[in-house]
Amino acid sequence: MTLRLRDEVPLEDVVVPKKFPPEFKRDVVRVARRGDLTHAEVASDFDVSVESVRRWVRQADIDDGVVDGQTSSEQSELVQLRREKRRLEMENEILRRAAAYFAAGSIPK
């Protein structure tokens, strides 16, 4: 039996991106910044995609203040704040529904 997602894509066909530790990314960026190898060569040496190398170097430039943009810490803070906002909105919705339910029960008939 093959498990399927909602849109009928077999799960074995779904590609899940690899998670690389920050130390590994720093090493890749350090080698890429040396300049003696192209991004494609660095990607090949570390067995990652060229786009991953480009993205990590670009994010490192932002984090180091070389280029303007949203730093990694700002991105993680934004993600955390959005999760908190979503949780608070759900709590408010539950409280609103509970208040409406109990208010409807207290109306004299």
pLDDT single digits (tens) 51-63:
999 999 999 999 9
The string of pLDDT tens digits covering residues 51-96 is 999 999 999 999 999 989 999 999 999 999 999 999 999 999 999 9
| Model confidence pTM above 0.75 | no
Phi-psi category of residue 80: left, alpha or beta, with phi > 0 → left and psi -120 to 50 → alpha: alpha
Buried b (16+ CB within 10 A) or exposed e, 14-44: eeeeeeeeeeebeebbebbeeeeeebeebbe
Indicate the residue type of 30: R
